[in-house]
Amino acid sequence: MGNSLAISLKLMFAALGLAMVFTLVYTISTDGHPFRKELLTPWMVATLVDFYINVVVLAAWVLYKESSWISAVLWVILLVCLGSITTCIYIVVQLFKLSPQESAQDPIYYALLRHPSKNSNAEQKTNLPPVIFARISFGALGCLMFGTLLYTMLTDGSPFRNELWTPWMVATLIDFYINVIALSVWVAYKESSLIGAAFWIILLICFGSITTCVYIVRQLFQLTSQDPLYLVFFKIGDRRVYN
């Protein structure tokens, strides 16, 4: 079961990464570069805010995973610049680093987990902010996205208008939803029931980073203020890491 899941995840994220590369190349070749003022419509700006809030979550995981600040900063820069292409590459790389035993047991858990060979000094260097600070930060990001969504709807109307579906908007949404797929895999791992996982994934698809922030804050409230912040990445049954 574990091996087949690991193989499936490798194939899925490799295919998604290639699909995004194709989308990016095709959009550049048919619609030009994305750095044009006329592309920054209110709904494009709102979509980019939504996109980069999810990138913050993925970047937090990268900061936890990487043993040096140089590699962590490099990956985060690539996440910011290349979006879901970097997400897919990073996930596939982490899956290929797993031993056969890890792949067979629980590939998602071991892909999320920082490698145990990393010493305590490296762990201290990459510690994320305390739990309370994280609750406030992701709560604020969720409010930011909710405010952005509400403001854009009030000032620019519905997002379901044909003129908004420019090639770069479509490419941005593909980029956004590939990251949503990555987050959905994490949610499915975290949730103990299929119904719970489906509920949160549907909300992720419909409300994007608002759901991401709500879900993370909810998970953070299951930790005490003294718990290491990285425990939020793992489901309750797997919170034995580094104990």
> What's the confidence (pLDDT) of residue 120?
40
CA neighbor of 83 nearest in space, from 51, 108, 47:
51
Between the alpha carbon of residue 139 and those of residues 135, 143, 210, 218, the distances in Å are: 6, 6, 9, 10
Structure tokens at 110: 């071991």
pLDDT at 126 over 80: no
- Statement: residue 14 has pLDDT above 50: yes
Q: Any idea of the CA torsion for 100, 230, 76, 66, to the nearest 10 degrees?
A: -50
pTM summary value: 0.91
The pLDDT value recorded for residue 236 is 78
Q: pLDDT tens digits, residue range 224-241?
A: 888 999 999 998 766 555
Q: How far apart are CA 242 and CA 59, in angstroms?
A: 21
Q: 130 with 225: CB under 8 angstroms?
A: yes
Among 25-39, 135-149, 188-202, 225-239, the least confident range: 225-239
C-alpha to C-alpha distances, 35 to 29, 40, 61, 174, nearest whole angstrom: 14, 9, 29, 18
CB proximity list for 45: less than 8 A, separation 6 or greater = 148, 152
